[in-house]
Amino acid sequence: MRADRLLSVLLLLQARGRLTAREIADELAVSVRTVYRDVESLAGAGIPVVAERGSTGGYRLLGGYRTSLTGLTAGESDSLPLAGLPAAAEALGFGPGAAAAERKLLAALPSGNRQRAQHARRLFHLDAPGWFRDVEPVPHLAEVAGAVWACRPLRLTYLRWRSPQEVVRDVEPLGVVLKSGTWYLVAATATATATATATATAAGAGAGAAAAAAGDSVRVYRVGKIHHLEALPGTFPRPDDFDLAAFWAGWTARYEAGVYRATATVRLSPEGLRMAPFRLAPAVVRSLRSTAQAPDADGWVRARLPIESIRHARGDLLVLGAEVEVLDPPELREAITAAAADLTALYAARPQEGRSPAVATPRC
């Protein structure tokens, strides 16, 4: 709404002092011409906006003018926890509300504290995605976040890795998590929350029992793997004491422990030990450090590593090249040996480009 934008212009000038029309337009995602009209409207309403010409000019408020019109709207209050995370707020659909909430909070601060807050913002930056990874497209993230907020059930068409790959799930979304640049939906099956609540009520138990019972059916879905999404009618009763952070901590610990179904005994060279933290998963590195024996005469160390499968372990350990030797299980050692033989055969099959094959010198 235009009234909200006029207030945003006023609060920007109050918080930052002097701004050009282009800076205001970029901040509010409007045209420079719109900023000109808004400033004229503020001046016409008696707000002492001064235009200063020149390369260092811009708009400012005259004589330290301040307004107390800093009340947050409902949408801005909803997005307040994301005010310091603009990228995440934008992805969740709360970008404009979070930006407006931050402007109003800064405008309400005394001058000294406002400058400190603005200075702190320039010093810290969160870049969630990991290195050398594109951000996964999440076209349904904003709709998922809205359903979480409104306690609205969803029907998901979800693509998973095992067969059948495409499945349909009716879920009750309980929260959204961003981990290492990847978004996840935490949701209960569509009837779990209501059934758990009814059961707990009939048994005379409290909300905690209902949340625990519903938690048994809570699952995690990767938002980028949601192929299609449909909002279902009505709402569902969210357990009052469902703790998203606590659930996530427990779920990730169980997931990490469940992924690794076997162990392998390996020897690592000093260079392999140095490379391991940069090439292997954190859980594998922790096991390496806790089980490492004393180095032998050549500096090699024997240790036990958790593995997901023979196929996964082969790929994981090949990145260390000749700096690791598999001792056990025999199937993994054979898989590594076969891979090394295949590589040798591949590179020996044809000469290196740009070099002629060796020709035997005839003997007279």
> Mind listing the pLDDT tens digit for each residue in 315-326?
999 999 999 999
The predicted pLDDT at position 17 comes to 80
> What integer pLDDT is reported at residue 358 of this predicted model?
56
How far are the Cα atoms of 79, 106, 197, 216 from residue 15, in angstroms, in the given order? 20, 6, 48, 48
> Which position has the higher pLDDT, 256 or 177?
177
Q: What is the pLDDT of residue 194?
A: 47
For residue 158, the cross-strand partners are: 167, 226
How far apart, in whole angstroms, are the C-alpha atoms of residue 19 and residue 25?
A: 10
The mean pLDDT of 246-266, rounded to a whole number, is 92
Among 55-64, 148-157, 173-182, 199-208, name the one with the lowest average pLDDT. Answer: 199-208
How many whole angstroms separate alpha carbon 248 and alpha carbon 244? Answer: 6
Q: Over pLDDT 90: what percentage of the chain?
A: 47
Which of these ranges, 107-111, 335-339, 358-362, has the smallest mean pLDDT?
358-362
Q: What separation in angstroms does the CA of 349 have from each of 99, 343, 354? A: 60, 10, 15
Tokens 């209960």 -> residue: 188
State residue 212's pLDDT score: 45
Task: Name the least confident of 92-106, 153-167, 178-192, 334-348.
Answer: 92-106
What does DSSP assign to residue 269?
-
| pLDDT value, residue 275 | 96
Instruction: Name the residue among 269, 163, 172, 282 with its Cα closest to residue 219.
Output: 172
Buried b (16+ CB within 10 A) or exposed e, 323-354: bbbbeebeebbebbeeeeeeeeeeeeeeeeee
**Residue of 246, 335, 319, 313 lying closest to 279 (CA atoms):** 319
Q: What does the pLDDT read at residue 46?
A: 80
pLDDT beyond 50 at 114 = yes
On the question of pLDDT at 74 being above 90, the answer is: no
On average, the pLDDT of the chain sits at 84
Domain 2-123 part of CATH 3.40.50.1970: no
pLDDT > 90? residue 195: no
Q: What is the pTM of this model?
A: 0.65
pLDDT > 50? residue 210: no
pLDDT on residue 278: 93
Q: In the predicted model, what is the mean pLDDT of residues 151-174?
A: 92
Neighbours of 7 (CB within 10 A): 20
- Domain coordinates in residue numbering, the chain: 2-123, 141-256, 260-348
Q: Which residue has the higher pLDDT, 60 or 330?
A: 330
Across the range 261-272, mean pLDDT stands at 96
Residue 343 has pLDDT above 70, yes or no: yes
pLDDT of residue 363: 55
Per-residue confidence (pLDDT) for residue 298, from 0 to 100 = 94
